[in-house]
Structure 1
Amino acid sequence: MRPPDPLRPPVSSQLSFRTVRIRLTAMYSGLFTICGTALLAIVYWLTGRARPGVVIVDRPWPAPQMARAAMDQAHRQEMQQLLTRSAIALAIMIVVSIVLGWLVAGRVLRPLRTMTATIQQISARNVHERLAVTGPRDEMKDLADTVDGLLGRLEIALNTHKRFVANAAHELRTPLTLERALLEETLTDREATLESYQATSERVLAISKDQARLLEALLTLSSSERGLDRREPFDLAELAREAIESAGLEADARGVRVTRRIAPAPSAGDPALAARLVANLVDNAVHHNVPDGHVEVVTEMKAGRAFVTVVNSGPVISPERVGRLFEPFERLGGRSAHDDGHHGLGLSIVRAIATAHGAGIAAHALPGGGLAIEISFPAHLRPQVPERAPV
């Protein structure tokens, strides 16, 4: 049994439209009834106040009082006839207003019914479809454009999710397959020695450590995308110093020269995630470099924001490729470049942490090769305590 598609609206939408149509019709006819009744009352009241001053008769009356009584009686009969005929006319017009209100409400709701029918056909399998409503720029067109924009963002999110799951499954399946092959080969080898068992165990242990690093990176990426639970002050300058010190061994081994221009750059957020962001920037700059390359790390305050900038030499990157480097499992050398525990999640984590902190990201490829990445955090200026005057 196929599970329900979360993108499909409920089948009761047609009933909802009929309910809205009934309410609109009731509102139109109700307003017409109120206005018609008020108009009838005003006309009846004004007509009742108007009495003829002179009455011409063609036969003698016994007394003036009887003439006045006859005149009043005739006036009351005329008013009664006026009220009856007006009430009948009002009742007929109320029925007409109900019919017209029903037709007008249906005409107004027709674009909504069309959009609903289209949306009901959209699911996770054809989320690329759009309403594509044409016509004048009105409320219906704005609503359709908003829904199309939402569907576009949803399509991007679904495709990103599918790609992420597929890549994560591949990243986890490959080392598991390798572990299984190593263990099966060792166990089926009747001439295996203690040294071969030890070598296999060391390789399996290294693969397990690599898997642990991958899972840790995935957990960090997931926690970063959920947002921040707390905000504490931190200084990008201190985080940069720690990141440079941690990457020192790899930089020396690769012959990469690391320079720094560190100035205070206070901000606020999750210090652990911010430290991971700076560490990933420096680590990627050192790892994806060339022999005898260089890395420059800068922290500073500009325009009321705290900046950390990492510039590194490296292979030439096409400008259109820069944006894709922040996608999960995207590597400079392609999927075959998986080595040294780097899974292509470093810059994805950087983007997720920056987004959670409300930080901006600017990245561009350098003409001679390499990359420059600038992250701008909202500044967090510590309140200055005024100095107390000496007593």
Structure 2
Amino acid sequence: MSVRLKLTLSYAGFLMLAAVLMFAAVWLFLLRYVPDRALMISADDPTNGVFPVRSRLLDVFAPRAAVVLAFLLLFGLVGGWILAGRMLAPLTRITHATRLAAGGSLSQRIRLPGRRDEFRELADAFDTMLERLEAHVAEQRRFAANASHELRTPLAISKALLDVARSDPTGDVGEVLDRLDAVNTRAIDLTEALLLLSRADQRAFTRERVDLSLVAEEAAETLLPLAEERGVTIETSGDITPTSGSPALLLQVVMNLLHNAIVHNLPARGAVWVNTSVRPGTVLLTVENTGAQLAPELVSTLTEPFQRGSERAHTDHAGVGLGLAIVETITRAHDGTLTVTPRPAGGLRVTVELPAESTHTDW
């Protein structure tokens, strides 16, 4: 049976039960509380006694009660069907939107009118889910398109180099091999970045206790040669910042942030500042660098995959355009938040906020 039919039968059954109880109460009242003298006076023959009068009263009461019960049953079925239809009308809109979403139309919204009740809360929650799902699908489609484009580029370059080598057998084979090696290295880096992004998004890692201050020092020491090569100084400071997560992934976060801060810096005498701090319930990792002034509109897109900024896409260390996207994915997988803001004097300030880990034991 449908829910509407079940509700109709429930309404009608409850109405019939109430009616039966009411008639039973009336009959008990007549039997128990109406004086016998009143019944005798109302009888045609006072010599018949009380009991024959009560019997005649039952003969008159029962048929009329049965008619009323039949009417109430019909009224309960019809009224219950109408009421159930009105009560379940919002579910019809929700079901329609669900079927459209299942068919791929994620732009459909219920937007249920009326006062806030259980159905309104369900519809609003469903609209919110559709909105997030639509945004996620759109993001995945953009990511797939960008990834295909980025992977196609080194393959096309490799094919062009091979075609040139075939057409000119007397050419410099060493130069061709060097260029092929560089192109293939870029393709490998891009593939590894995509795999890392996928693993981080699936949260397929084991959580351990990690001190972000130690991770920051390790990343700074590792990237110090690159900073010295580009004339950039690195300053690290801060407190012990205990958190929980994957040491390898959190190291990747700091490495990506530091690498971006070094590469996208001033041509000379640039600086990078790394600071760790503790707040109630959270720990912070902040990476700032000098550099060109960036528009807020550009900064808001830097965490999207393959977004490097037009003025930064052709440098010798431009990377694959997944640095901040990987940082955001890993941060989100660790239940944290990533904030990217432009510095007034130029450059960026990137803040990673993660849940703090309890420090009952010594590090």
What TM-score, normalized by structure 2, do the two folds share?
A: 0.91
Q: Does 1:178 align with 2:157?
A: yes
Offset at 1:29? Answer: 0.9
Partner of 2:14: 31
Which of 136, 139, 154 lines up with 1:160 in the alignment? Answer: 139
Equivalent-residue separation in structure 2 for 1:337 and 1:344 (angstroms): 11
CA distance in 1, matches of 2:222, 2:242: 21
**Distance in 2 (alpha carbons) for counterparts of 1:136 and 1:276:** 49
1:263 to 221, 230, 239: 239
Shift of 1:163: 0.3
How many Å apart are 1:199 and its aligned residue?
Answer: 2.2
The amino acid across from 1:164 in the alignment is F
The reply on whether 1:277 has 2:253 as its aligned counterpart is: yes
Larger CA deviation: 351-360 vs 301-310: 301-310
When residues 338 and 123 of structure 1 are mapped into structure 2, their CA distance, relative to the original with a 3 A threshold, is farther
Deviations 1:135-179 (A, max 9, x none): 333433333322222221111111101000000000101101111
Matching residue of 2:330: 353
2:353 matched residue in structure 1:
376
The answer to whether the 8 Å contact 1:210/1:341 transfers is: no
Q: For 1:328-364, what per-residue CA distance to the aligned partner results, in whole angstroms no more than 9, with x for missing partners?
A: 1111226953753611111111111111112232321
Alignment of 1:94-109 (within 5 A): 94-109=73-88
> 1:298 — aligned with what?
275
**3-state SS, counterpart of residue 210 of structure 1:** helix
**Residue correspondences, number:** 359
- C-alpha separation between the residues in 1 aligned to 2:23 and 2:312? 82
Residues 272-325 of structure 1: CA deviation (Å, up to 9, x unaligned)? 111111111111100111122110111232334322111101121112332211
Show the counterpart of 2:306.
329
Q: Is the contact between residue 48 and residue 79 of structure 1 (CA under 8 Å) also seen in structure 2?
A: no
Alpha-carbon separation, structure 2, partners of 1:59 and 1:106: 52
CA distance in 1, matches of 2:10, 2:45: 56
1:93 aligns to what?
72
The residue identity in structure 2 corresponding to 1:225 is: D
Q: How far did residue 230 of structure 1 move?
A: 2.1
Task: Flag the 1:161–1:339 CA change in 2: closer, same or farther, 3 A.
Answer: farther
Correspondence 1:131 to 2:110 = yes
Partner of 2:296: 319
When structure 1 is superposed on structure 2, of 74-83 and 89-98 the one drifting more is 74-83
Amino acid at match of 1:347: L
Match of 2:37 in 1: 53
The aligned amino acid for 1:361 is L
Root-mean-square deviation (Å)? 2.4
**2:52 match:** 73
Query: For the Cα contact (< 8 Å) 2:262–2:272, is it kept in 1?
Result: yes
Which residue in 2 is equivalent to 1:3?
none
1:13 corresponding residue in structure 2:
none
Residues 111/58 of structure 1: CA separation in 2 closer, same or farther (3 Å cut): closer
Gaps of 5+ in 1: 1-17, 62-66, 386-391
Paired residues of 2:264 and 2:312 also in contact (CA < 8 A): no
Shift of the 58–33 alpha-carbon distance from structure 1 to 2, 3 Å rule, reads closer
Provide the rounded CA distance (Å) in 1 between the counterparts of 2:330 and 2:318: 21
Query: Structure 1, residues 43-90: CA drift from partner, whole Å, max 9, x if none?
Result: 1222122352263599998xxxxx254x42232121132122212211
Assess, with a 3 A threshold, how the Cα gap between structure 1 residues 306 and 332 changes in structure 2: closer, same or farther: same
| Structure-2 separation of matches of 1:124 and 1:258 | 53
How much does 1:125 deviate?
Answer: 5.8
Query: What's the offset of the Cα at 1:96?
Result: 1.2
Q: Once structures 1 and 2 are overlaid, which stretch shifts more, 247-256 or 355-364?
A: 355-364
Deviates more, 1:172-181 or 1:82-91: 82-91
- Residues 182 and 200, structure 1, Cα contact 8 Å, conserved in 2: yes
Q: Which amino acid in the other structure matches residue 298 of structure 2? A: R
2:343 paired residue number: 366
State the Cα deviation string for residues 170-217 of structure 1 (Å, max 9, x = none): 01011011111111221232434xxx2232222212211111111111
Are 2:343 and 2:349, in contact at CA under 8 Å, matched by a contact in 1? yes
Tell me which residue corresponds to 1:14.
none
Range that drifts further, 277-286 or 141-150: 141-150
Q: Structure 2: state its 5+ residue gaps.
A: none
* Secondary structure class of the residue paired with 1:326: coil
**3-state SS of paired residue (2:352):** strand
Q: Output the amino acid matched with 2:37.
A: G
CA distance, structure 2, for counterparts of residue 304 and residue 34 of structure 1 = 58
Find the aligned partners of 1:125 and 1:31 in 2 and give their Cα distance: 43
Which deviates more from structure 2 when the two are superposed, residues 216-225 or residues 119-128? Answer: 119-128
- TM alignment of 1:333-344, pairs within 5 A: 333=310, 336-337=313-314, 339-340=316-317, 342-344=319-321
Offset from partner CA, 1:67-116 (integer Å, 9 cap, x none): 254x4223212113212221221122111110110011112222322343
* Corresponding residue of 1:189: 168
The offset of 1:117, in angstroms, is 2.8
Deviation of 1:38 after TM superposition, in Å, equals 1.4
